[in-house]
Amino acid sequence: MTTAADQVLKGLFSEAGLDDPYRYYAELHRLGPVSLLAGTGSYAAVVTGYEAADQVLRDPRFRVTDDAYTDERSGPAWRDHPLLAVLNNSMMYSNGSRHSQARRLFHQVFTPRRVAQLEPDVSRLVDGLMDGLADRLATDGQADFMTEFAYPLPSSVVAALLGIPQADLAWFRPRVERINDFLDVTGKSDEILAAADQATVELSEYYGSLIAERRTKPRDDLISQLAEAIDAGEHDVSDHDLICNLMVLFNASFVTTIHLIGNGMRLLLDDPALRRADTDNFVEEVLRYEAPVQFVARFAAEEAEVAGTVIPPKQLVLVMLGAANRDPRRYEEPQVFDAGRPEIRPLSFGAGPHFCLGAALARAEGRLAFPQLLERFPSLRAAGDPVRNPQQFLRGYKSMPVAT
């Protein structure tokens, strides 16, 4: 037996839903803030209401799927896969003290001050990429904004933050993408996992040698400071834990911010009047309107009630950030892009203990990139239809032709 929400989710996870998930979210909103599922894979409920999603993300009864959960659900075989072992050892998939240990280590070095210090580097990287975009526009008459700008910016920024040489990024990107291919809900074939495992092994070795190098010759970068903090003995975090967390941090920063930049550019191309909007509000409204991460998962450690719906123990819930950001109970005319709306505060960076570690950095990238782009390319326009990223969970574009 399936529920009404199962039917809507079937549409959502189809081509039509990839194109426009928002009409399915609107249907789910009509069913209520939380809907039980009976026939959709491993999930017992879908949470679409803003308040309900915020509650689930902050409620300690709801946890991320950690190693104990994965053991219980599917046995210990996942441990043989380097990718799954790395993910489950990272903060993103840890609960309780292991999670807080890793967060504390990163919080000690990845501070608001460090983000502010990085801003001139971000502006310089934006300038460099705009030169490349200008060259491509001059030689070909048009350019792919995603390839020339939106994809390379976030990885260059996180590389500058961590201390990964920019020259190594060309080697890095395909490996990170192989991991990312596996993380999409629809793409879990054995071949995809094997490729992601191989990429994980290579990236772990890379990080291992970079950490060793920074120990002997420290620099003013995050990897040097993280290694130093571990050596000071104040954190119960090993080098292996550090490598797992660095891999997840790099991936989390790269695959998400691309879409903040791409989705924002698409909105600016579609409606040039938006170019006059306040930049901070514009970035916040882009995050609300087109959340780069559309959903996250949690399981109920014990029976838990959310917005009047009882979630049974050990069951997974799908927390739809993209839907919560368009909850009509929270936002007036949620389907309208309005950079002037008050109190935007989208759930795009999550909430609670796993709230995005890089939110300030991602916001800074948007805040710096859009005005620089508009100043340098005042007549930038769409030069054809953009192609969507085929992943449901990361909402954005694969390519976006532009011209001047």
Residue 211 lies near ligand HEM (rule: CB under 6 A): no
Q: Which two tokens stand for residue 391?
A: 């992943």
Closer residue to ligand HEM, CB minimum distance, 152 or 292: 292
Shortest Cβ 140–ligand HEM spacing (Å):
29
Shortest Cβ 110–ligand HEM spacing (Å):
7
| DSSP assignment string, 138-179 | HHHS-EEHIIIIITHHHHHHHHHHHT--GGGHHHHHHHHHHH
Residues with Cβ < 8 Å from 68, sequence gap 6 or more? none
> Per-residue string for binding with ligand HEM, 18-57, x by CB under 6 A?
----------------------------------------
Query: For residue 193, how far is the Cα from the chain centroid?
Result: 20
At 367, the amino acid letter reads R
Q: Binder to ligand HEM among 5, 9, 64, 183 (CB under 6 A)?
A: 64
Could you tell me which residues are beta bridge partners of residue 43? 316
Closer residue to ligand HEM, CB minimum distance, 137 or 154: 154
Residue 292 lies near ligand HEM (rule: CB under 6 A): yes
Looking at residues 66 to 125 of the shown chain, list those that interact with ligand HEM (rule: CB under 6 A). Answer: 91-92, 103
Q: Binder to ligand HEM among 346, 358, 386, 396 (CB under 6 A)?
A: 358
Q: What DSSP designation does 312 have? A: P
Residue 293 lies near ligand HEM (rule: CB under 6 A): yes
Strand order of the β-sheet with 381-382 is 143-144, 401-403, 381-382
Q: Binder to ligand HEM among 105, 265, 296, 380 (CB under 6 A)?
A: 296
Q: Where are the beta strands (DSSP E) in 262-348?
A: 295-300, 304-306, 309-311, 316-320
Binding residues for ligand HEM, total number by CB under 6 A? 25
Torsion angles phi and psi, residue 311, rounded to 5: -100, 125
Query: For residue 114, how far is the Cα from the chain centroid?
Result: 20
Residue pair 370/124 in contact by the 8 Å Cβ criterion: no
Residue whose Cβ sits closest to ligand HEM:
358
Residue pair 310/40 in contact by the 8 Å Cβ criterion: no
Shortest Cβ 348–ligand HEM spacing (Å):
5
| CA–CA distance, 237 with 235 (Å, rounded to integer) | 5
Torsion angles phi and psi, residue 43, rounded to 5: -90, 140
Q: Which two tokens stand for residue 1?
A: 């037996």
Closer residue to ligand HEM, CB minimum distance, 136 or 266: 266
Shortest Cβ 116–ligand HEM spacing (Å):
14
Shortest Cβ 79–ligand HEM spacing (Å):
20
Residue 253 lies near ligand HEM (rule: CB under 6 A): yes
| CA–CA distance, 309 with 36 (Å, rounded to integer) | 8
Residue 356 lies near ligand HEM (rule: CB under 6 A): yes
Shortest Cβ 366–ligand HEM spacing (Å):
7
Q: Which two tokens stand for residue 332?
A: 């007036």
Closer residue to ligand HEM, CB minimum distance, 35 or 325: 325
Using alpha carbons only, what angle is made at residue 282 by residues 184 and 328, rounded to the nearest 5 degrees?
70
Q: Binder to ligand HEM among 17, 33, 264, 350 (CB under 6 A)?
A: 350
Residue 289 lies near ligand HEM (rule: CB under 6 A): no
Residue 283 lies near ligand HEM (rule: CB under 6 A): no
Residue 362 lies near ligand HEM (rule: CB under 6 A): yes
Residue 361 lies near ligand HEM (rule: CB under 6 A): yes
Query: For residue 42, how far is the Cα from the chain centroid?
Result: 22
Which residues contribute to the site for ligand HEM (CB under 6 A)?
64, 91-92, 103, 158, 248-249, 252-253, 256-257, 260, 292-293, 296, 321, 348-350, 354, 356-358, 361-362
